[in-house]
Amino acid sequence: VDIQTSESAVNLSDAALLTAEAVTPPTAVLNTAATGQGDSAMAQAQRFAHWKDDFTRRAIAKGYSPQLLAITVGRATMNERALERDSSQPEFTRPVWSYIKSAASPERIERGQAELADHTAIFDELEQTYGVPRQILAAIWGLESSYGRILGNHDIINSLATFAFEGRRTKFGEAQLFASLDLIQSGAVRVEQLTGSWAGAMGMTQFIPTTFRDYAVDFDRNGNTDLWTSEADALASAANYLTRSGWRPNEPVMAEVVVPVDFDYSQSESTKKTVAAWTALGARPANGLQFSPAANQLEAKLLAPAGQRGPKLLVFKNFDVIKKYNNSTSYVMGIASLGEALGGQTSIRNPWPEDDQPLTFKDKENMQKALTAKGFDTGGVDGQVGPATRRAIRAWQSANGLPADGYVEQRLLARIMAP
């Protein structure tokens, strides 16, 4: 079961939504011995000190200076809160409609429109340089940090050292620490600037150190790539990241459609077809208009994020590009919806099945066990509904004469669990 593409894998960097958002839950239950729970605070401190020495040795062997190590990992302390947050198991995954509602809230729309008006010159230049629409950039800015208002004030080195030390994110922590060293060594940032979310994302666009090192740009050319206080640098960095990830200018992110009642949902999620081919299967724009000849040529996948009772979307290449920024379907729909709203448009018209009762983590595990026992392979039992689990759900739905939309709420769960 692939956590990376699971709906609930909402990126840890999502600072502005962090308070309400279910953060990426762990795939495996933490091993108590390996996390140091149970051993004394003293023993843990010793192991952390030992890890710091070891990391320092390895970094110096790679050519980083002892001086650089001393001002970073050398003075790192454990961020207990990062470990707690990282291992806490969210009971419910937030339903997609509630995520979108808070992403494109009236307040965020209003502020975004004001920010767009305040920074016209920068947005003009960004569109010119990168070909990414201003509404998309503003939506990222708005969702990641409430337009620069919530940046997080954790010491990034402490969080990353804590992850690298032990737990389920040691590889991530280590890679991000090395990227942080690169950032300081190259002079792109100063060590005291390295603050952000508990999970290691920084600045107005919540870049993790590897993204920062590889994609951030000093757009205002003041010699410092400053994602914390320079709107130009932060927004250009986001635009550069999208462009380098394959953004296609003048193509949409998504378009809502309506489909016939007997639509074959087994084609949703993974099958790519041209808009013309989807039209031939009965899909029509939800706004009552027709797709343009240019749109008809584009390739799209069809998503029904809340099943056949909820809105259906054609999603384009740019949808996947935004997923590279934050690997969550909800996040991308949030960005697209906020972006449309900033431009005065409505992106999703049809109602969500808000009366549906979502599954808990335990429910998802039980569902995976039941499906597996019935011969529908979910690729393991981890409480994450990813592509493999949805494939199994679809197969079970087809075998039971139900629309194969891959979507399960409490009522359908009861049927899956029935002997």
The footprint of ligand NAG (CB under 6 A) covers: 11, 13, 201, 206-208, 211, 325-326
In angstroms, give the least distance from the CB of 339 to ligand NAG. 16
In angstroms, give the least distance from the CB of 206 to ligand NAG. 6
Q: What is the DSSP letter of 191?
A: G
Residue with Cβ nearer ligand NAG (201 or 413): 201
In angstroms, give the least distance from the CB of 133 to ligand NAG. 18
Of the candidates 372, 373, 364, 374, the one whose C-alpha atom is nearest the C-alpha of residue 6 is 364
Integer Cα distance of 253 and 317 in angstroms? 7
In angstroms, give the least distance from the CB of 198 to ligand NAG. 13
The gap from C-alpha 254 to its chain's centroid, in whole angstroms, comes to: 17
What percent helix, strand, coil does the chain show, rounded to 5?
50, 5, 45
Residue with Cβ nearer ligand NAG (228 or 352): 228
Residues counted in the chain: 419
**Residue whose beta carbon is closest to ligand NAG:** 211
Phi/psi-derived region of residue 117, left when phi > 0, alpha when psi is between -120 and 50, beta in every other case? alpha
In angstroms, give the least distance from the CB of 394 to ligand NAG. 27
In angstroms, give the least distance from the CB of 4 to ligand NAG. 8
Element (H, E) at 302: strand 299-303
Residue with Cβ nearer ligand NAG (145 or 158): 145
Residue with Cβ nearer ligand NAG (169 or 364): 169
In angstroms, give the least distance from the CB of 325 to ligand NAG. 5
In angstroms, give the least distance from the CB of 17 to ligand NAG. 13
Sign of the C-alpha dihedral computed for residues 91, 97, 102 and 104 taken in this order: positive
Integer Cα distance of 115 and 123 in angstroms? 10
Q: What is the dihedral of CA 239, 245, 246, 250, to 10 degrees?
A: -30
Integer Cα distance of 151 and 59 in angstroms? 29
Residue with Cβ nearer ligand NAG (176 or 279): 176
Residue with Cβ nearer ligand NAG (207 or 219): 207
Pinpoint the alpha helices (H) of 250-360.
275-280, 293-297, 317-325, 329-342
In angstroms, give the least distance from the CB of 15 to ligand NAG. 11
Residue with Cβ nearer ligand NAG (1 or 404): 1
Residue with Cβ nearer ligand NAG (140 or 255): 140
DSSP of 309-321: TS-EEEE-HHHHH
Please write down the long-range contacts of 354-357, taking CB distance under 8 Å and 24 or more positions apart: 354/95, 354/97, 356/95, 356/306, 356/309, 356/409, 356/410, 357/409, 357/410, 357/411
In angstroms, give the least distance from the CB of 12 to ligand NAG. 6
Numbers of helices and strands, H then E, in the chain: 19, 7
Residue with Cβ nearer ligand NAG (237 or 268): 237
Residue with Cβ nearer ligand NAG (13 or 279): 13
Cβ pair 1, 379 in contact under 8 A: yes
Element (H, E) at 257: strand 254-258
